[in-house]
Amino acid sequence: MTAQDTAPTLLTRDRLDEVEGWFFDADRFLFDWLLTHQTAHGMQGDLLELGVYKGKSAIVIGYHAADGERFTVCDLFDAGEAPDDSTATEMRVYYPTLTRQVFEANYLRFHRRLPTVIQGPSSEVTGHVPARSCRFMHIDASHLYHHVRDDITAARELLTEDGVVALDDFRSPHTPGVAAATWEAVLTAGLKPVVLTESKLYGTWGAAEVLRDTLAARLTTHPTLWGVTEDVAGHTLLRVHSR
């Protein structure tokens, strides 16, 4: 009997809702579409997620790490690791049951190997991930303005020329700091919004127009999602809704 024979059977993607967390259908589609689109067009680069909660979005990202690409996640996992009192309070209020063990157990229900895990504040990520190495980055860490602003600055440093950043909770009522930092980056730091969903803004410092138009064409044949373009502060972006 080989090790492969005794390895536990992995869960399939349609079991993702067994993992606790917030990851809506439009964003699942966009993660899959964007990452597949990048690979199909020859884009290479690592994948990065800041803030994993219990692993739901990380599990999806993990399916897209090609040979030679590294998937890295970064999370505090414990309020005791928080860099300041405001972050510790946020952890205790919103994520009292989050542990590294829960994340890793969930991830290994779907994948054979864990991603590279950085346990610590997101401010440490640039010390572990090389500049201009990532083609996709998901930011869902602290909701405090100054931390999100720094995470976006890190994204600009770490992404490849046409890499994409997904910013979670940019419009939620309880996360005004994310909204402020996100739109500040659009208005003053060159971030080009490509597509918005109910919970995430996807942007790039690269070629936004081609990506947006290709996605808009794909949505015309999607059975449950549709897109509409809108001009905002000099940018034409796509809003995605459920039918």
Q: Express each pLDDT in 121-157 by its tens digit.
A: 999 999 999 999 999 999 999 999 999 999 999 999 9
pLDDT of 199 > 60? The answer is yes
Sign (positive or negative) of CA dihedral 69, 63, 213, 227: negative
Task: Classify residue 82: in a domain, yes or no.
Answer: yes
Grade residue 87 by pLDDT with cuts at 50, 70 and 90: low
Task: Classify residue 61: in a domain, yes or no.
Answer: yes
- How is residue 16 annotated by DSSP? G
Closest CA to 157 of 137, 174, 172, 175: 137
3-class DSSP assignment, residue 128: coil
Contact 66, 141 (CB under 8 A): no
Give me the pLDDT at residue 197, please: 97
pLDDT of 3 > 50? The answer is no
pLDDT of 89 > 80? The answer is no
Task: Classify residue 126: in a domain, yes or no.
Answer: yes
d(CA 44, CA 222) in angstroms, rounded, equals 26
Containing structural domain, residue 111: 22-242
Mean pLDDT for the chain overall: 92
d(CA 135, CA 96) in angstroms, rounded, equals 32
How would you label 69-102 residue by residue, b for 16+ Cβ within 10 Å and e otherwise?
A: bebbbbbbbebeebeeeebbebbeeebeebeeeb
Give me the pLDDT at residue 83, please: 67
Task: Classify residue 5: in a domain, yes or no.
Answer: no
Give me the pLDDT at residue 90, please: 65
Task: Classify residue 198: in a domain, yes or no.
Answer: yes
Task: Classify residue 117: in a domain, yes or no.
Answer: yes
Q: Which CATH number belongs to the domain containing residue 156 in this structure?
A: 3.40.50.150
pLDDT of 185 > 70? The answer is yes
Locus of tokens 């690592």: 46
The structural domain count of the chain equals 1
Task: Classify residue 231: in a domain, yes or no.
Answer: yes
**pTM (two decimals):** 0.91
Task: Classify residue 217: in a domain, yes or no.
Answer: yes
